[in-house]
A and B are shown apart, each in its own frame.
Chain A
Amino acid sequence: MSDLSNTGVGGTESAHAGEQGHGFESFFPDSGGVDQSDASTNIDDETIAELRELAGRYPQARSALLPMLHLVQSVDGRISPRGIEVCAEILGITTAQVSGVATFYTMYKRRPAGKHHVGVCTTALCAVMGGDYLLDHVCSKLGIRPDETTPDGTFSLERIECNAACDYAPVMMVNWEFMDNMTPEKADELLDRLAADEPVASSRGATITSWREAERVLAGFPDGRADEGPTAGEASKLGLNIAAEHGWAAPTAEEAK
């Protein structure tokens, strides 16, 4: 794996390859900013045991690959080369097959994500409602562009697609928790508090933990925070409340007979 990825693409090496009969030349100057020489990992026997446990939860082990990659991220802060190897070994597939999956899905990060992963929705509706300005604002505030991480490792930023919270537009996400009805002022306060390690509650979720802890839950290891937060946000209950004001309800089973 590492031998292959360190060969490099483009530049002089592919020119050599050309002399040896290969006509291919890459037009990608780098591998999306991924440091292929970074082999660091925190994966230990305990991680491997948990990865095996995930593989055992499905009728066919390979179904566990997405959860396993979430767990790799929670341990290594990214999809690490070692994580890819371990997943491939456990599932009996090639590292290329694992890489093919890891590079397909946007939630998998091959570069280290920040302690807090911040998303700003700029799909059409959120963009029009102010999401474009919010993203500009957050970029200036953090001094990074989308898909970058602050030098201190506190924040990474992503321009996200529709996150199924359009009645709370414009929407931001922190570690995949909803931050509803955002404004530049609210974004400032949110980021300042996170940077200062002060507690921040999601609009419709739990107290913000970290991106890595979130990834562990997504892998299938609950963190015991399901009972935090409200049943529903105000917009979710709007129709219900209007019905109550008017005394409206669905028919009863008796009325139907």
Chain B
Amino acid sequence: MTDPLTPVLTANWGDEQAWKLASYERRGGYQGMRAALRMTPPEVISLVKDSGLRGRGGAGFPTGMKWSFVPQDNPNPKYLVVNSDESEPGTCKDMPLLLASPHTLVEGIVIASYAIGVSHAFIYCRGEVLHVIRRLQQAVREAYAAGYAGSNILGSGFDLEITVHAGAGAYICGEETALLDSLEGRRGQPRLRPPFPAVAGLYACPTVINNVESIASVPAIVKNGSEWFKQMGTEKSNGMTIYSLSGHVARPGQFEAPLGVTLRTLLELSGGIRAGHQLKFWTPGGSSTPILTDEHLDLSLDYEGMAGAGTMLGTKALQIFDETTSVVRTTLRWVEFYKHESCGKCTPCREGTWWLVQLLHRFEAGTAVDGDVDKLLDVCDNIGGKSFCALADGAVACVTSAVRHFRTEFEAGYSTPAWELFPYRESALFEVREREGAGV
């Protein structure tokens, strides 16, 4: 039995200047890369496959299997793109990782690129995080200077270019094919699949796209072995991962634990819900994962446990809301996000999110009319599964799950404004002296 918390990726976050190469190497950094370069590329892929590492960016696809899909007989260059566009509401794990320890990612990139046969890797980072980008740029420069990137890495004959690329503000670019279009200098809009990126991705060449945390997990796996990784977690969800606790809790923050920990455990460790309040609803992995309630405190926070409860592990972004919170207001604000971020390519998503916002404004203002709950669900039914990418599915998941758990609260919107049922000032973390209102 492993300990309740198992810091690996976060282990050096308390170190002085952990972002510097010297600090990272004092902790054994780049030993995984050295070990990998002594192996053959297929051996590295097998090792990562054996570890059971699954994608940490939301979909949970086995990382090693994704690498093995790249056709090695394709004559075109192969590319690795690290998805560092972290923008899913509630998700806040990759940015602190890159601030504190960008070399963990860079080391993982070298290993993954060697395994797949990649000659150029890109780190596509959302643009709205200046200091994260500064630290990434510096870490990549340090890696080149140390001979861990560039030509003939440590005399292995392996060459790798690494480019840090800043996005420009678009949630949709976290979707892997939209990210590729964006990296090609276009509007970030998803592509129809097939072809899949493993065959025709960046510049129509074989491309692997992995989340930051997935790639950052690789050095420790190579260094310690797949059996080590499998000691943590559950039968089908192996390893440690970062859970992000936010919202109405006594102490929000990042927790690195074996997959399968429960929200109850994380709340007990961190001091629970804020004083004098009770849990009302929460997301397991960002706003695109259907919400859960206080009935789900003991569910295993892993891929299977969340699927079994009709939701998804997603990005493990645990957003906690207490009993002061209007679920109607919160749902509206999530849907406003999706409306704002819809790329406009698919009509059901572009128009549907617009209609959902109109309807939800009526619920919030207490001016919805009898039957509007069913209309809301009907509109959702015309959006979900009817667009190119998962943004549309995420946009309706928060609505349908909120209605499933709190239908009477939506029906109250036929007569009573949400801000009367749930005075908004009581949800705020500071004392509100200003006028009561629904915001700007």
Contact with B along A155-171 (1 / 0, CB 8 A): 00001111111111110
CB pair B337–A231 under 8 Å, yes or no, is no
CB pair B95–A164 under 8 Å, yes or no, is yes
Among A57, A133, A222, A256, the one with the most B-chain Cβ atoms within 10 Å of its Cβ is A133
Question: Given contacts A136-B437, A136-B439, A250-B240, is CB(A255)–CB(B231) below 8 Å?
Answer: yes
CB pair B321–A128 under 8 Å, yes or no, is yes
* A residues less than 8 Å from B130 (CB atoms): 175-177, 205-206, 214, 217-218
* A residues less than 8 Å from B437 (CB atoms): 132, 136
Does A235 reach chain B (CB closer than 8 Å)? Answer: yes
* B residues less than 8 Å from A60 (CB atoms): 184, 203
CB distance from A214 to the nearest CB of B (A): 5
Question: Given contacts A167-B253, A231-B19, A242-B270, is CB(A249)–CB(B7) below 8 Å?
Answer: yes
Question: Given contacts A132-B424, A237-B13, A238-B253, is CB(A66)–CB(B185) below 8 Å?
Answer: yes
8 A Cβ contacts from B413-440 to A:
424-425, 427-430, 432-435, 437-440
Does B48 reach chain A (CB closer than 8 Å)? Answer: no
Does A223 reach chain B (CB closer than 8 Å)? Answer: yes
B440 in complex: contacting residue of A123, A146, A177, A253, CB < 8 Å:
A146
Contact with B along A178-193 (1 / 0, CB 8 A): 1000011000000000
CB pair B170–A166 under 8 Å, yes or no, is no
- Docked Cα-Cα span, A108 to B127, in Å, equals 11
Contact with A along B1-34 (1 / 0, CB 8 A): 0111111101111111111100000000000000
Which of A7-15, A16-24, A31-39, A99-107 interfaces with chain B?
A99-107
- Smallest CB gap from A140: residue in B: B434
* B residues less than 8 Å from A234 (CB atoms): 253
CB pair A236–B96 under 8 Å, yes or no, is yes
CB distance from A20 to the nearest CB of B (A): 30
CB pair A106–B253 under 8 Å, yes or no, is no
CB distance from A93 to the nearest CB of B (A): 8
8 A Cβ contacts from B222-247 to A:
223-225, 227-228, 231-232, 240, 243-247
* B residues less than 8 Å from A205 (CB atoms): 130-131
CB pair A202–B131 under 8 Å, yes or no, is yes
- Smallest CB gap from B286: residue in A: A162
Which of B146-154, B328-336, B372-380, B389-397 interfaces with chain A?
B328-336
* A residues less than 8 Å from B246 (CB atoms): 125, 166-167, 169
CB pair A231–B321 under 8 Å, yes or no, is no
- Smallest CB gap from B431: residue in A: A183
Does B353 reach chain A (CB closer than 8 Å)? Answer: no
CB pair B131–A206 under 8 Å, yes or no, is yes
* A residues less than 8 Å from B164 (CB atoms): 220
- Docked Cα-Cα span, A159 to B169, in Å, equals 13
B254 in complex: contacting residue of A100, A222, A238, CB < 8 Å:
A238
8 A Cβ contacts from A92-118 to B:
100-101, 104-108
CB pair A125–B89 under 8 Å, yes or no, is yes
* B residues less than 8 Å from A202 (CB atoms): 131
* A residues less than 8 Å from B208 (CB atoms): none
Does B300 reach chain A (CB closer than 8 Å)? Answer: no
Does A58 reach chain B (CB closer than 8 Å)? Answer: yes
A222 in complex: contacting residue of B137, B334, B430, CB < 8 Å:
B137
CB distance from A111 to the nearest CB of B (A): 15
Question: Given contacts A238-B253, A250-B8, is CB(A164)–CB(B430) below 8 Å?
Answer: no
Question: Given contacts A125-B319, A164-B87, is CB(A239)–CB(B224) below 8 Å?
Answer: no
A231 in complex: contacting residue of B14, B86, B253, B434, CB < 8 Å:
B14
Question: Given contacts A63-B183, A129-B427, A242-B269, is CB(A233)–CB(B96) below 8 Å?
Answer: yes
- Smallest CB gap from B16: residue in A: A231
* A residues less than 8 Å from B330 (CB atoms): 124, 128
Does B401 reach chain A (CB closer than 8 Å)? Answer: no
Contact with B along A67-89 (1 / 0, CB 8 A): 10110000000000000000000
CB pair A227–B92 under 8 Å, yes or no, is no
- Docked Cα-Cα span, A246 to B435, in Å, equals 45
* B residues less than 8 Å from A255 (CB atoms): 228, 231
CB pair B429–A63 under 8 Å, yes or no, is no
- Docked Cα-Cα span, A65 to B215, in Å, equals 26
- Docked Cα-Cα span, A162 to B141, in Å, equals 29
CB distance from A225 to the nearest CB of B (A): 6
CB pair B166–A162 under 8 Å, yes or no, is no
CB distance from A27 to the nearest CB of B (A): 15
12 A-B Cβ contacts within 8 A?
Answer: A59-B120, A60-B203, A64-B185, A122-B333, A128-B333, A136-B440, A227-B138, A240-B10, A240-B254, A248-B6, A250-B240, A251-B2
Task: Report B's interface with A, CB cutoff 8 A.
Answer: 2-8, 10-20, 77, 86-92, 94-96, 99-100, 120, 126-131, 133-135, 137-138, 141, 163-171, 182-188, 203, 223-225, 227-228, 231-232, 240, 243-248, 251-257, 269-270, 287, 317, 319, 321, 325, 329-331, 333-334, 337, 340-341, 343, 424-425, 427-430, 432-435, 437-440
The 3 closest A-B pairs by CB, nearest first: A238-B253, A132-B439, A239-B255
Q: A124-B330, A222-B141 are in contact. List 20 more A-B contacts (CB 8 A).
A: A70-B166, A70-B168, A104-B187, A108-B169, A128-B333, A133-B434, A135-B439, A139-B440, A161-B87, A161-B341, A164-B92, A183-B430, A206-B130, A218-B133, A226-B131, A231-B100, A232-B13, A232-B99, A238-B255, A239-B269
